[in-house]
Structure 1
Amino acid sequence: METKAMRINGDDLIAIGYIPSPALGVALRINQKRHGLNRNEMMTFYAAVLQDPTAYLDHKIFAKLAKSLIEDAEERALNNTIPLKKKAEPYAIYGKEQIEAGALKQMNIAMQLPVTVAGALMPDAHQGYGLPIGGVLATKNAIIPYGVGVDIGCRMALTVFDIPVAHFEQNKELYKDVIMNNSVFGAGHGFRLLDRTDHAVLENKLFQENAFIADLKDKAWQQLGSSGGGNHFVEFGILEFAENDAPLGIAKGAYLALLTHSGSRGFGATIAGHYTQLAKNICKLPYEASNLAYLDLNTQEGNDYWLAMNLAGDYASACHEVIHQKITVALGAQVLARVENHHNFAWKEQLNGEEVIVHRKGATPAGKGVMGIIPGSMTAAGFLVRGNGATAAINSASHGAGRQMSRTQATKSIDTKGFQALLDKADVTLLGGGRDEAPIAYKDIFAVMQAQTDLVDIVAQFSPKMVRMADDGSRED
């Protein structure tokens, strides 16, 4: 006869990790028969099945319990998942005929987030992770790490020099040496200790107050003033103003200019990875929206990411400042104007009378009168623009031409001889780079610009002439 000490009840099972649920009832019913097992043996099985129910789906005694535990877990996951809106909020699409279906699908999902207020898709849009590249999303008090992107604060910077165009054309070897001696490219690459540059950004208090950020300080210092791989570049080109531009103080004519594209390097990428995973752990969204996991800015985690993101943006700006300063000094040039803008970032802005968080993942800020740079490709024109402040576009524009081919497709679509022929035709000297960044990989920049005439006015056109890119095959964007 079973004594009281030998019995197994619900409290016993709860003590080893079971929770009140249908599975608990199944477990107690199995215990009524005992199946020749004593109390200790039954408790050992109960613990093992709870630990890994899939291993007991075919067990002659505990299969029903294993199945019930799995069903319970699935039901709890479903109940804990934050539901999406049943229908995507409407949003403006610019140049829709040039945008792939995958990017449109991603944007539609983003527009179903419960925190979404408004959105827009730029004409250079293509599929990414979470929010499509070229996607603009306004949210209510929520920040989406993958809505910002991996390369936090990636940006364009343009310096206009007082150097005659003819001087560049007659001294290309000099300019080649200047670029090669004052730029470092590639994923993971940086400077030796003696060659590193100090900058005020490294004195940001987060490097003392946040242990996670503090551990990244040496990496940030090592890579300060360097550029990534992929589509990042440092290039000389000819900037042509068709009219006088009073706000910049530039007269009509052609000028030698330096244009750079890069971001926050390994520092920003590590921040992005850390907080993306944290957001996914906290914010459980349906599978199709999981890469859009967000953090509430009223929480410690949300505030920590906001501060880290802003630091990464400042760091990216510092990298461009160092590059432009080094090259300006090396040339002995006078600076006539400098313009900088960033993407892969989030801003607190006013939209229709309320404060929102505007994510621009591969989109250029284009508020009324705001200056920006929209590049084409290594041979195609880029544009210096001034924003029109279009509300439907959430004060945004494209950040470039946008890819129309994957890197693999581009490499397969053109051989080395054909690639060089394109460079020769455009009179472009390429230092580094590869066929994965060939001009054919990108959309027609003139079609992209035509699709956003409501968003920006063109101030000047930039023609690349000497382009430095990573030559190690790295794909850090």
Structure 2
Amino acid sequence: MPYKPLKLSAPNPVLSWADHDLEAAETKMAKNVASLPFVFKHVALMPDVHLGKGALVGSVIATKEAIIPAAVGVDIGCGMCAIKTPFVADQLEGKLKTIRQEIEAAIPVGFNQNKEVETPVSNWQGWKQFKDLHSKVQNLEGKALKQMGSLGGGNHFIELCLDADDQVWLMLHSGSRHIGNMLAQRHIDTAKELARLAEEKLPDRDLAYFVAGTPEFAAYWRDLQWAQNYARFNRDVMMARFKGIVERAIAGGKPTKPLLEVNCHHNYAEKEVHFGEEVYVTRKGAVRAKETDYGIIPGSMGAKSFIVKGKGHADSYCSCSHGAGRLMSRTRAKKQFDIDDLIRQTEGVECRKDRGVIDEIPGAYKPIETVMKQQSDLVEVVATLRQVVCVKG
């Protein structure tokens, strides 16, 4: 079997799908989470696992009657969406640079936001609940409106890809933007303050939690679901623009019907049933992979990406990895690689090739093929993609 139990002296087991031993700091983080009294059954680590804050990125944590806001993280609802188009590679001939420029003009990246709010955004049903969110984000509704349909920074990206049959796919990676970050931080602060007042001895302050049935839990759960819905719709808005750009370039703007659509979170929490019990499942850098689920596992901007279908593996809480996983920190990547390395590693991809994206160089990530091999029991590959255009956040 590709997974193995880690040798940890913790009350709950930790099952790892990684092909390598964890480093000391990673082992400590896994042990800390497995030591919490409300963890259900075991903790599952995906093959792309690496250091996070409080909990490892690439961990699936099922809990009974409690939830850890820092384990969900600050980019609530971060995830991926992809569509398979009816177009083929030949139709892109000579159009890649124009498509990239139009994406960059139409979709704000980094800290930027839209200058105007388009109708689908203003009509989103979620705005009706904004007044119920945490009191300290009530001044951010205007910013949240303007950021809906924007990419963000870091490892967020938009890619035009081809599969093994030269079919054109559109793919992007983004989350809940500034509003999700602010909501997360407010609730993480509250959880830490509650732990301090209760003089609770936590293995890590970032594992401060809320107990089900309390007002604090209810407030976090409400804001969490709202931010997850915001993140999903944010991806839909960007994908609609992206699709329009490609349709204008290839089909004179004529709308087309996608052959397959996938939109999945990989930083989130939901209530689910596992091993016959209702639990809260936090996927911190992991994708749900039930037998009915399609998922997206991207490589770096010079490597393959995969559209997958879940196998519903019980011990992984029906989960799989969310990408290749970082091999090194952003700081180390900037020290180790230069622009020549970036140009060489992204050969054949229409993308930025400047110092601003060196921390996202393919060499800073684990080999995606290894990650995929380690989860052959979790997912089956539906399509293997290679990018021809990449726009980074």
Distance in 2, matches of 1:144 and 1:440, equals 32
1:1-35: CA deviation from partner (whole Å, max 9, x where unpaired): xxxxxxxxxxxxxxxxxxxxxxxxxxxxxxxxxxx
Distance in 2, matches of 1:290 and 1:282, equals 11
Distance in 1, matches of 2:381 and 2:82, equals 15
Residue 390 (structure 1) aligns with? 313
Q: How many residue pairs get matched?
A: 371
Aligned 1:38-437 pairs, distance under 5 A? 87-97=10-20, 99-117=22-40, 118-186=42-110, 188-193=111-116, 198-201=121-124, 203-210=126-133, 211-240=135-164, 253-284=165-196, 285-286=200-201, 288-330=203-245, 331=247, 332=253, 333-334=255-256, 335-424=258-347, 427-431=348-352, 434-437=357-360
Structure 1 SS opposite 2:204: helix
Structure 1 residue 87, shift from structure 2 partner:
2.8
Which structure has the highest strand share of the two? 2
Distance in 1, matches of 2:123 and 2:117, equals 18
Distance in 2, matches of 1:154 and 1:108, equals 25
Distance in 2, matches of 1:96 and 1:176, equals 36
1:13-67: CA deviation from partner (whole Å, max 9, x where unpaired): xxxxxxxxxxxxxxxxxxxxxxxxxxxxxxxxxxxxxxxxxxxxxxxxxxxxxxx
| Percent identity (aligned) | 36
Residue 48 (structure 1) aligns with? none
CA RMSD of aligned residues (A): 1.9
Say if 1:207 and 1:162 are closer, same or farther in 2 by CA, change over 3 A: same
Partner AA of 1:320 in structure 2: R
Gapped runs of 5+ residues in structure 1?
A: 1-84, 241-252, 471-477
CA contact (8 A) 2:100 2:390 kept: no
Distance in 2, matches of 1:310 and 1:176, equals 33
Which structure has the highest helix share of the two? 1
Partner AA of 2:158 in structure 1: V
Distance in 2, matches of 1:383 and 1:214, equals 39
Distance in 1, matches of 2:240 and 2:189, equals 36
Gapped runs of 5+ residues in structure 2?
A: 1-7, 248-252
Structure 1 residue 360, shift from structure 2 partner:
0.3
Distance in 2, matches of 1:226 and 1:300, equals 32
CA contact (8 A) 2:14 2:30 kept: no
Structure 1 residue 365, shift from structure 2 partner:
0.6
Structure 1 SS opposite 2:229: helix
- TM-score after normalising by structure 1: 0.74
- TM-score after normalising by structure 2: 0.90
Partner AA of 2:184 in structure 1: A
Structure 1 SS opposite 2:269: strand
Distance in 2, matches of 1:221 and 1:234, equals 21
Distance in 2, matches of 1:351 and 1:437, equals 36
Highest CA radius of gyration, 1 or 2?
1
Say if 1:90 and 1:336 are closer, same or farther in 2 by CA, change over 3 A: same
Greater relative CO, 1 or 2 (CA 8 Å, sep 6+) = 2
Say if 1:337 and 1:88 are closer, same or farther in 2 by CA, change over 3 A: same
Structure 1 SS opposite 2:233: helix
